[in-house]
Structure 1
């Protein structure tokens, strides 16, 4: 059900429509960028602040912990309180937190500021996509979502490039300070252009207990994944016990309360469930590939931070040029083919990069990265459109929050678990021989995850054609 009459939709070709799309795309892109831009700057941050390895790990983990734990709650809040309002609060929050990160004087100040920054990212990320879904007419959404998905993918891929350029030319503090003027522009443009929308049928009390259980469950599991190498066995066991009890409590709460945070009937849609399962697998591989390739090029191949970031340029170009076209293709033929072929092509590209090692030059990286980029461009925007099309419009923010939480959890799980799984320890990150052995096994695992993602799409998205997801959601 739509939240406004058709005549009040923005036109994608109008000035206001274009400005709104640019504002929400740029804003969510900045949040996604900050999830990966820090990776290549960790050594510089450690040298400047005198940080230990566990503290540096928390610089990344703190951000992901807040984002993964709260993005689902933020999506539901947007549907309830107003998507424009929550998005603007998130952008302002992110701006303030970025300033705190840039001004940090010791490692724990930076960790704390990154946690605060992750909260802001959680508030704005699902709101951007929900605003697109609620503001544009159904016939114009596919291309708008394709643009959003393309820029979002670019932001994730270009993070190492931006971080490398900043580290090589100035201080690491500019990684965070550069967000401030961008956030100011986004807030101003969103305030002017974006119409307010909300789920007008949400009249019951907000599910506070469900929200707390989500935060507790995802927070405990994320903490366990990010600190598995440093935490004691007892602490890890406790974290997983809390995760299990929290999950059981959340499912029970969702079944019994009249107004649950996550209506479980959303998962009765085969398309919605399959798309999220595919998201978990593909984004686990994506997060690990972009991290392992960048580190391998620096540790084993001797590339600079900037050069290793440039290796991901084909991903940026492919997403920018091809994502809107992939969205249009999926709108015509349905999401099944692009969401099946895309992960398989990505898996082929990853397999082509297994041999990166000592002495590797650009011609040893470029072919595999190009194939990987083409597959990614084929799947990203159809995936996003399929998730939103599988539910009624009034659940747009919640559906976006669920999919974002799944994506972040997949990336976090892979980045946290793969090093130990392939036999890497903390000291191996400085040993080219040891890291190369682990890198190659990690890439094999990532290729298998991508193949599994393609199979899930083929089996789960059986009905093809325009409108298939929406018909199923209404059934």
Structure 2
């Protein structure tokens, strides 16, 4: 009987990990296609940021609602609904003829991810406890970690063979298969809580979504200057709305968010730590493909392969998680992971200052390895540390609250990296072009400037390409240095919050 139960649990774990894997492949595979999409629709950096941010914003809008519904309707039922959203969104993306239609497709996918990720974590927290939970979270993290950098390989291959629409066709087929295997192998949970009130606090949902949307809009507009009214005003209003949401929800008799969980210092420390993992991951994946594919002219497939050091190091880190946690504890492992991310960011930024060749490529690879190790070792340690403190009956709410912090990390990762990268790129392009005697006006994004250079003959085209390459590399140094600074500050916050937690 125990053997049968163990086999059933293993099948459930494999199916849940399969959902996490294909979803993360979907997320990062799409980023590899951004340069091709930018050329197809003549989209600038701001439009590309919105295509990515639409996913993250929809994710943020539904994630707490997903936990609310999962604890009342059943986590598996809610998860399957989220996976169904991916199938619908894939069909829309396959037919997209403009950027707005693409935005709709990615937003629906983001909503699906906002349901699937917290429900998957909640199911693991219910099906596994104690040491088995650590193993399950490590396996889950490896699946997600594989998906993040493995996505560029899949996206690169599909884009090279079928164009960027091939990614949406692939998604539709794969998610239908995942729905089928999960329905057959994962047991229903949460039935004992179905009697809980299902009155949805729509005011809280609206305030949270509006706050995140306005804050993200300000970050996107900040690429033209943080002091511009269309940058700081939306961010300020977004912060006010987000604060209002927290206060309103905390006072509500039917809260959307279980803020009481933040009273536990271990849970509270994991929130900003997980936020920094997503901040780093999405920031890297957002700006690296343009460098690898456009600046270095490697194409989507080779560009995806050049991110392999990140995936290999992530897998190694996740596999070493149990050993490291047994030596320095969950707190020590989490701080180690954040330190690796900061060092990796600085190293990648430094690589952009080196001349092209073995030295620059080796340094960039070393930065990917260190950052990837931090991503791999950090996620399972942090999730196990936090979810181990959450009562079973609040698994959905606890997982959703952590996922909100992770998703906010994704939003500010794309926003900060994208805005700093774009702003610095245009400034550097202007300066370098003037000193070289070229046209100082940038088209607003590296792919567009390279496209413009392709239409010019002789030295004029070469000069634009060289200027755009130098400008993008210089901007990357600034972006990664800023990111490392943010991570170091967050590491200090995590250390302070968790200073009295047991090792």
TM-score grouping bracket, smaller chain normalisation: 0.7 to 0.9
**Which residue of the partner structure matches residue 203 of structure 1?**
196
**Which residue of the partner structure matches residue 448 of structure 1?**
485
Q: Report deviation, 1:89.
A: 0.6
**Which residue of the partner structure matches residue 434 of structure 1?**
471
Q: Report deviation, 1:439.
A: 0.8
**Which residue of the partner structure matches residue 180 of structure 1?**
172
Q: Report deviation, 1:413.
A: 1.2
Alpha-carbon distance change, 428 to 214 in structure 1, aligned in 2, over 3 angstroms: closer
Alpha-carbon distance change, 254 to 347 in structure 1, aligned in 2, over 3 angstroms: same
**Which residue of the partner structure matches residue 400 of structure 1?**
399
Task: Provide Cα deviations, 1:165-209, integer angstroms capped at 9, x if missing partner.
Answer: 222232211111111222122111211121222284672444333
**Which residue of the partner structure matches residue 345 of structure 1?**
340
Whole-angstrom CA distance in 1 between matches of 2:284 and 2:184: 39
Whole-angstrom CA distance in 1 between matches of 2:345 and 2:229: 37
Whole-angstrom CA distance in 2 between matches of 1:81 and 1:230: 45
Deviation larger for 418-427 or 331-340: 418-427
Alpha-carbon distance change, 399 to 158 in structure 1, aligned in 2, over 3 angstroms: same
1:113 is aligned, of 105, 109, 114, to 105
Q: Report deviation, 1:347.
A: 2.2
| Number of residue pairs the alignment of both structures matches | 458
> Helix, strand or coil for the counterpart of 1:355?
helix
Whole-angstrom CA distance in 1 between matches of 2:210 and 2:301: 38
Whole-angstrom CA distance in 2 between matches of 1:405 and 1:134: 20
Q: TM-score, normalised by structure 2?
A: 0.82
**Which residue of the partner structure matches residue 314 of structure 1?**
309
Q: TM-score, normalised by structure 1?
A: 0.87
Alpha-carbon distance change, 22 to 226 in structure 1, aligned in 2, over 3 angstroms: farther
**Which residue of the partner structure matches residue 472 of structure 1?**
none
Alpha-carbon distance change, 84 to 100 in structure 1, aligned in 2, over 3 angstroms: same
Where does 1:67-466 land on structure 2 (aligned, <5 Å)? 67-198=59-190, 200=192, 203-204=196-197, 205-229=199-223, 236=231, 239-240=234-235, 242-327=237-322, 329-330=324-325, 334-357=329-352, 359-361=356-358, 362-421=361-420, 423-425=424-426, 427=444, 429=446, 430=449, 431-463=468-500
Whole-angstrom CA distance in 1 between matches of 2:350 and 2:58: 35
Alpha-carbon distance change, 332 to 101 in structure 1, aligned in 2, over 3 angstroms: same
Structure 2 gap segments, 5+ residues each: 427-442, 450-467
Alpha-carbon distance change, 252 to 340 in structure 1, aligned in 2, over 3 angstroms: closer
Deviation larger for 323-332 or 255-264: 323-332
Q: Report deviation, 1:240.
A: 3.6
Q: Which structure has the larger Rg?
A: 2
Task: Provide Cα deviations, 1:244-282, integer angstroms capped at 9, x if missing partner.
Answer: 442233233223222311122111111111111222234
Alpha-carbon distance change, 100 to 169 in structure 1, aligned in 2, over 3 angstroms: same
Alpha-carbon distance change, 349 to 96 in structure 1, aligned in 2, over 3 angstroms: same
Alpha-carbon distance change, 334 to 80 in structure 1, aligned in 2, over 3 angstroms: farther
Alpha-carbon distance change, 448 to 53 in structure 1, aligned in 2, over 3 angstroms: closer
**Which residue of the partner structure matches residue 432 of structure 2?**
none
Question: Does the CA contact (< 8 Å) of 2:317 and 2:374 recur in 1?
Answer: no
Whole-angstrom CA distance in 1 between matches of 2:264 and 2:4: 28
Structure 1 gap segments, 5+ residues each: 1-6, 469-475
Task: Provide Cα deviations, 1:115-162, integer angstroms capped at 9, x if missing partner.
Answer: 222222212121111111111243311111111112112212223332
Alpha-carbon distance change, 331 to 385 in structure 1, aligned in 2, over 3 angstroms: farther
Alpha-carbon distance change, 18 to 168 in structure 1, aligned in 2, over 3 angstroms: same
Whole-angstrom CA distance in 2 between matches of 1:248 and 1:372: 32
Whole-angstrom CA distance in 2 between matches of 1:453 and 1:158: 27
Whole-angstrom CA distance in 1 between matches of 2:95 and 2:338: 41
> Helix, strand or coil for the counterpart of 1:334?
helix
| Bigger share in helix | 2
**Which residue of the partner structure matches residue 434 of structure 2?**
none
Q: Report deviation, 1:212.
A: 2.7
Whole-angstrom CA distance in 1 between matches of 2:239 and 2:401: 19
Question: Does the CA contact (< 8 Å) of 2:122 and 2:399 recur in 1?
Answer: yes
Question: Does the CA contact (< 8 Å) of 2:59 and 2:110 recur in 1?
Answer: yes
Alpha-carbon distance change, 355 to 168 in structure 1, aligned in 2, over 3 angstroms: farther
Deviation larger for 93-102 or 396-405: 396-405
Question: Does the CA contact (< 8 Å) of 2:90 and 2:172 recur in 1?
Answer: yes
